């Protein structure tokens, strides 16, 4: 399972303040970061993978270095890939990671409403 360890380290630095609410899992051929058990972002090869809430998904895809996450010929709903030019700066990376945290937080709220 080869993924960009430098990118993973940069993400870890951004997520360190979440403490025990964050965990890492190797999956999908890369590394996923989980916020309170919900996947928020990850690294697959050299790309950043981000989960995005539905209302921001299409707008996020308008970014020039962003694309639909597609493993099998079918797009995964709510997932996107960002290529390296789209997260060169810490500010850019933080914006993407924040979208992932927003997704995870929203998913947790929905679970509470459903009684999970």
**Any idea what the CATH number is for the domain that residue 61 is in?**
3.30.1460.30
Whole-Å CA distances, 25 to 40, 43, 94, 99: 11, 11, 20, 19
CA distances from 58 to 15, 16, 62, 98, 110 (A): 25, 29, 7, 16, 21
Q: Determine the pLDDT at residue 44.
A: 94
Helix (H/G/I), strand (E/B), else coil: 52: coil
The confidence band for 5, taking pLDDT boundaries of 50, 70 and 90, is very high
**What pTM did the predictor assign?**
0.91
Running DSSP on this structure, what letter comes out for residue 59?
H
Supply the range of the domain harboring residue 10. Answer: 5-114
Task: Report how many domains make up the chain.
Answer: 1
CA distance 73 to 40: 22
pLDDT at residue 17 greater than cutoff 70? yes
> Residue 116 — very low, low, confident or very high, per pLDDT cuts 50/70/90?
low
pLDDT band at 28 (very low <50, low <70, confident <90, very high): confident
Structure tokens belonging to residue 43: 């690294």
Tens-place pLDDT, residues 31-66: 999 999 999 999 999 999 999 999 999 999 999 999
Q: pLDDT digit string (tens) for 75-114? A: 888 999 999 999 999 999 999 999 999 999 998 777 777 7
């Amino acid at each position: 399972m080869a993924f960009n360890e430098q990118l993973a380290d940069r993400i870890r630095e951004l997520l360190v303040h979440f403490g025990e609410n964050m965990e890492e899992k190797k999956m999908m051929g890369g590394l996923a970061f989980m916020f309170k058990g919900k996947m928020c972002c990850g690294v697959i090869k050299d790309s950043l993978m981000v989960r995005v809430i539905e209302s921001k998904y299409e707008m996020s895809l308008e970014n020039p270095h962003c694309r639909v996450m597609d493993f099998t010929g079918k797009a995964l709903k709510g997932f996107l890939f960002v290529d390296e030019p789209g997260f060169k700066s810490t500010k850019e990376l933080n914006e993407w990671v924040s979208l992932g945290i927003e997704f995870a937080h929203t998913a947790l709220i929905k679970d509470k409403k459903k009684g999970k």
